[in-house]
Structure 1
Amino acid sequence: MPRERYTVISADCHAGADLLDYRPYLETKYHDDFDAWAATYVNPYEDLLADTADRNWNSERRLAELEADGIVAEVVFPNTIPPFFPSASLMAPAPSQQEYEQRWAGLRAHNRWLADFCAQAPGRRAGVAQILLNDPAEAVREIRRTKEAGLTGGILLPGAPPGSGVPELYSQTYDPLWAACEELDVPVNHHGGSASPPLGDEPAARAVFMVETTWFSHRALWHLIFGGAFRRHPGLKLVLTEQGSGWIPGVVEMLDYYHGRLVAATARATTAESRFGAGLAASMGASPGEVWRDNCFVGASFMRPHEVPMRDRIGLDKIMWGSDYPHDEGTAPYTREALRIAYAGVEPEEVAAMTGGNAARVYGFDLAALDRIAAEIGPTVEEIAEPLKEVPAGATSPAFAPGGSVRVW
């Protein structure tokens, strides 16, 4: 039977509790510290102070808005501030042992809250657990606990930018994490914006951040590849989310080039370059291209029109679309229009894979169950096939930005 509607799973959404609502999820011994911290905390994010902030934690509102947008399920990354953190928790080594312990307690509280939040919409939310990298053994314990608690979105790999104080991601220090994720079939997610070093407050800082942030996020790919994580743990899954997708073919080709060049150099011991490749082939195993094929996926979020023609080079089975709800740069409430601007003219089975099928496979959604919901609220194949002629007046997402012919590296 021909497909009539798409089952859309957003592989990039965000949620979190309202600040004081984290308290019941903290261990009791941290309650006094939390009360003191919360009494003086000033939230730095305008969207978390706005009237629409409850989209992060209001389950009924969230389901209604996602369904109105044609989305049946979501992968849920963090958004609000967990206890004891100064701001977002994507990369936050603590300056003292006490603060480190408090921040771990805060992340555990978020993960407990998230498990309850996901349980309010069974089978429709894959929550992504948060960890810190400072103590791999502690991280492994939290990975096991959150998997047992029902979080199916995997873990959020914190950034490890230069100067962070934690080992680089290629370090074998993290092998216990990769082993646990492989054993439990837990995807390792690395989200855009999570690995940039502090840039200060100069006027140019924001512009420099925009230029560099995706590159710093991409680093996780070559760190894990050249570090041999996938050789030692061939079942490991890495998902790179909200970092674009058009850069992937060129970067994988570049990594293959350096891999081949360095491995070949080891056979010519008299060359200066041979020392750079010493032990590389044995330590990393397969080539970067093979690792991408076998182990990696991209949470492409809202693919731009110039990226879609590269889908075969990226890997049609690798691409997962996301709306970035509830962020201002997300596609809501114009997701149907965003899908049209990207996928009009693409074969329906390919659209179905990128907008839902791949995410169902990676994150373990029951696609048959979601198909039944999509039969009522999903965008129609006919609708998405119609090219978008006019951008909605209220659209704020970069999915609608002009200049789509520019290739982003």
Structure 2
Amino acid sequence: MSGTSGMGEERYTVISADCHAGADLLDYRPYLESRHRDAFDAWAATYVNPYEDLLADTADRNWNSDRRVAELEQDGIVAEVVFPNTIPPFFPSASLMAPAPTREEFEQRWAGLRAHNRWLADFCAAAPGRRAGVFQILLNDVGEAVKEIQWAADAGLNGGLLLPGTPPGSGLAELYSATYDPIWAACAERGVPVNHHAGSASPPLGEEPAARAVFMVETTWFSHRALWHLVFGGAFRRHPELRLVLTEQGSGWIPGVLDMLDYYHGRLVAAASRADTAESKFGAGLADSMGKGPSEVWRDNCFVGASFMRPHEAQMRDRIGLDKIMWGSDYPHDEGTHPYSREGLRIAYAGLPKDEIAAMVGGNAARVYGFDLERLGEVAARVGPTVQELDEPLKETPAGATSPVFAPGGSVRVW
């Protein structure tokens, strides 16, 4: 469950299932195939980074390995699942859905993602056993995606695949399409988790105040769509070993959505057997193509990177699935819990049974992403939060805390 210090204190082994990293822009150059380097030089010379946090003096948290290890340890965290953050070569932004209308641009962006993945493999190797890197693909070329999955699995990127979204206007087949079956097959065969992170599936909405508000309302919903697309699309029937992780999109929504999906599944399957009803066509073939119902798929194949959990979400842990929940700090983002992760953990988990806390803060992530808990326990014995510490409710918000988990009313959002 936890490490033990020399003084006999039990400590939790905390693994953040939601962190972000990437190379400084020019440091991607050596990882590009040589034929793309001249084009990269020309592109980089005129590129203007749109993200303030990647221009600040804290930007090197994304690539400074020693700084990350030190800051995460100070925060009580001994290992991390590493999602991308910085801009890959040839992309106007971090979004994998940025428009790319020409074949040449698609080729360059594939080259950019390969460069990031190869940099990430080295970055993870710099802290052996303490990073599970999440690699990137594009969905426009399934064959190339499969090749990259095979490479990444061989390279030890245990964080798995980052699944792009298919928002309206993307021009891509929907995620339920059989077009992507070779991707699910490759992931299942190689034991590669499929991760779908919040913000990666929303369509561009512009910069007006209303657009930004609509984005906040809709972004989690667009992220949730991957669940029902893969469930109704039958991906888990055809590939029973496939695992889906939904990260940084909350967790309190899951029981209600599963109830809704079960309802529609039962209703449509039943309707399909009655040819004289208006609904029969909507359920035709669904039972055979899906196999198990939505709640069964969730039980057997799905997990949630719950990130900075709120107290009400922790109270729903049995309905969500105690073995499904993986806490994350979202380091180094402003909305993350750093450097107050211990306090964030207390907000969510104070007073809960310690074996359940141990599962949510590290045990589940170790199982999904292949971390060695015994090895990490040796580090946790030195830096992890103590059982006694997390059992004490937080009475005062730390000054300077920026995570939504500390915001007034931040514990009431359920989706």
Shorter-chain TM band: over 0.9
Q: Is the 8 A contact 2:2 2:381 kept in 1?
A: no
Q: Is the 8 A contact 1:239 1:299 kept in 2?
A: yes
Partner of 2:396: 390
Residue 150 (1) aligns with residue 150 (2): no
Question: Which range is displaced more, 196-205 or 393-402?
Answer: 196-205
Return the offset for 1:166: 0.8
Return the offset for 1:93: 5.2
Return the offset for 1:371: 0.6
The TM-score, its normalising length taken from structure 2, stands at 0.97
The TM-score, its normalising length taken from structure 1, stands at 0.99
Return the offset for 1:305: 1.0
Partner of 1:122: 128
Give the root-mean-square deviation of aligned CA atoms: 1.1
Q: Name stretches of at least 5 consecutive residues in structure 2 with no aligned partner.
A: 4-9
Aligned equivalents of 1:333 and 1:212: distance in 2?
A: 29
Q: Is the 8 A contact 2:404 2:410 kept in 1?
A: no
Aligned residues: 409
Return the offset for 1:94: 1.7
Aligned equivalents of 1:145 and 1:271: distance in 2?
A: 49
Return the offset for 1:154: 0.3
Q: 1:285 to 1:2 in 2, by over 3 A?
A: closer
Instruction: Map 1:159-238; keep pairs closer than 5 Å.
Output: 159-238=165-244
Partner of 2:84: 78
Residue 108 (1) aligns with residue 150 (2): no
Partner of 1:330: 336
Residue 362 (1) aligns with residue 386 (2): no
Aligned equivalents of 1:286 and 1:118: distance in 2?
A: 36
Q: Name stretches of at least 5 consecutive residues in structure 1 with no aligned partner.
A: none
Q: Secondary structure at the match of 1:396?
A: coil
Instruction: Map 1:394-405; keep pairs closer than 5 Å.
Output: 394-404=400-410
Q: Secondary structure at the match of 1:392?
A: coil
Residue 97 (1) aligns with residue 103 (2): yes
Return the offset for 1:91: 2.3
Q: Secondary structure at the match of 1:399?
A: helix
Partner of 1:65: 71
Return the offset for 1:2: 8.7
1:166-211 Cα distance to aligned partner (Å, 9 max, x none) = 1000000000000000000000000001111111233201000000
1:309-349 Cα distance to aligned partner (Å, 9 max, x none) = 00000000000000000000000000000000110000000
Return the offset for 1:406: 2.5
Q: Secondary structure at the match of 1:189?
A: strand
Partner of 1:13: 19
Residue 242 (1) aligns with residue 242 (2): no
Q: Is the 8 A contact 1:83 1:103 kept in 2?
A: yes
Partner of 2:378: 372
Aligned equivalents of 2:138 and 2:41: distance in 1?
A: 23
Aligned equivalents of 1:181 and 1:238: distance in 2?
A: 10
Q: Is the 8 A contact 1:306 1:404 kept in 2?
A: no
Q: Secondary structure at the match of 1:155?
A: strand
Give aligned-pair identity as a percent.
Answer: 82
Q: Equivalent of 2:350, from 344, 349, 364?
A: 344
Aligned equivalents of 1:90 and 1:37: distance in 2?
A: 17
